[in-house]
A and B are shown apart, each in its own frame.
Chain A
């Protein structure tokens, strides 16, 4: 761009050089909607008005890929087939801890239908000679059919030297417990995922504590007039994506193409380029339909690496799809935790001290911490968390929908209710005192009215055997933004519009919100926009994890579309002999603002283009007003995301069965782009939280280290009959922070559910369920009706 203003160019498309100040809507619709002035960069679009002034954004637009999904036309990674494609299977450790003395794959390699064999657990490789969990990869085979690959695995002879193992977190902490790791294998990292202090102490199988805090915890407890303390336990939850982890790798001389069911095409590309020493430009990662991730499909993984290595070795495309047992044992999980929460408060409820000591296990991995929920949800000057990872011989955990904060909220939200009871305060009144967020306050108010909080009775007050109760809990999550995120928008001579990005739609509705965002700019309908995503050949796509996809990709989509529109307006202004600034886009036309009868169809203007089409690429700019924190490509917006959920339950005290009858979920995500899809996603978060609360438990056999329920039968998931009435309310909460002011919701929708149910169960039966899952046996035990403990594993 140049500083010269040429006479032909209308003033509003003159080169912009200086930042400008714009006024944005700010506040909660229905509570207090004001304005905020922001200085923004010259190439940012004008402020987007609140949803009630828009025609596509904020509307319950049907999912743009809905038709493809209901007809079976949507092509997922498992549906990708290529000429000559081989099928891979992985040989996995039958033992929880063993040193591999010898692997003989020669018989398998000699089979005519086997095209490549790779041994992972090589006796001569200290980093890979020891297997540390049942299901750890030993070798992989590519053959002409899945059955042929399976048969070949049986011909691989492995000589295992069994080692002592430990498959229980409590036992693993005891002195003298068998060591899971050695100096080489010991993983780095922080229990809650933040950059790790390198010098965390390691004692036996316990790594930590990672200490975070503020103020002085001892002083805080000394100031307390009331102290409550409780221990809470959560079990391992597995992701159970309906589409298994899947990859089709096609290694060719001129580059590598990988189709993968992934939450982060760009991240997988970077991992592949590094692992196989290829230029980024020679690696392409593609995903079409994507059958769920929930955190477990964030990276390449060993299986992904093996598929590519097999393709390279065989010179043919290789398809590798994990079976359900592999999904349950070696595809990640939400770690188990054991937390001691101690809260000190004054009699008016003011918190003086909050301490959490946590031990968690992510199997052989780290990351079993409690997130930032206790640290940031409530006002408390003196805080300390001491988080520990405990290693056991079990498959590695990984991020899962609201990692850390989900088990963290299960404990803290019950402890806060405990405190309210000790102080004889209503749980909502206590939170009104200790929660500084005006958004959560409004969410509590709305939710309380909808659930009928006023009718809530004293704990255990129902006279009959089926006792009902109401409880609530809060969620808190970071407003994540990924800055390495970009979109291209293009219009061609027939007036049709395409938006392109490497971002993937994992079921959240990314295609639809992109279509809405771009359609709003052009005055089109969402279904008019062609959305092409899930391909690293397009501009950089952000990951779909951490509730950051919408926040990261809709602002550059709008910005790119706006730049294209400005070029079109410039062309149309000449045709209509008006100023470009006088034109607005509406219903597929560019019309004169003060004379709507005058105008041109987009196609009429596009037909005049010098080239077949014009386009623009925009990258995610910084939030207006800056970020709270920034680490590389990742940034934290100024505000939090969260919600308040209320649950109404019925507990049958004779059978121990807990039924959740109703949930009210009041959530915020900045600007809601699609209330219909948001409702879906919040219902999904609630149901995953309900399933976590009542059913899910990875059960390890202590004698063999095997998961005894590695399927979808004995590993219980909530089904339709378990689904309560779910009332979803989405706040419109504007801050004027980006071109769309939209943020995420996936994780905040999940975090509050289990503690809300637990608080409701307490209200029903007068005994606090401090352990998950709340199975009938666990409830009967709480009621003193069963000798069996609540913990199975």
Chain B
């Protein structure tokens, strides 16, 4: 019996994303456009649009759910692809030697981000699955990775380990089998995101790494790795400690960057601002979806994407670390 082929993905993914069940992958994507709109300072002026009608409508849906309906995305059931364009602020026009009297028009950096968002538990399944195969393919073909780790999964760290371990083994067996990568490391840039920083217990755990000098607390990027190590060390599961070693053994150390992120941020009262004793931005409504309590203040959501963009497109965006 002939099985129809699925409608093809129009773009190969530049960036792939993976993480365990409920690690916040879709919420990350939903808040990306909000983060870009809210950005100030060096990251100001960035925006995101859909590269086609489908991605545009998905982007609108994700934004509407987050900002208007004030709800989180439902658990992802099936592999979903998003093809987005992230457009930066235009650079100053350049002069060229053959026409020094005129300035060339300013050009905005434009990066295609094609994400594949799949159910978190795909790698935990031992049996073959079409979606799992496609997700592995996307990890192999992409050049940048976003790995989401949920530190609030009480007793679920072993899942996260299994998820990471299986995925890395599959990708390594496909990429390192031949002599293409002589150093035995995967060539990707990887942004490791420790998610759900807005959860009160994570905030408490991150207390000593937190920079309180800002409107909302935040773990600076140079502290993120240490915080990740602490999160893993506190877990009773003996595999937890291996997660960081697994990552640093599989990728070049210079190509890994850690971020402590939150898709919705902490609750900040419009008049009084952030209250450390009342940080939760989520309300539990019986029989309904959980609601977002106040304004959405994404923390470190656009930064991993812009960092990967800078690493992957140094000419367009200017490389920095």
Real binding pair: no
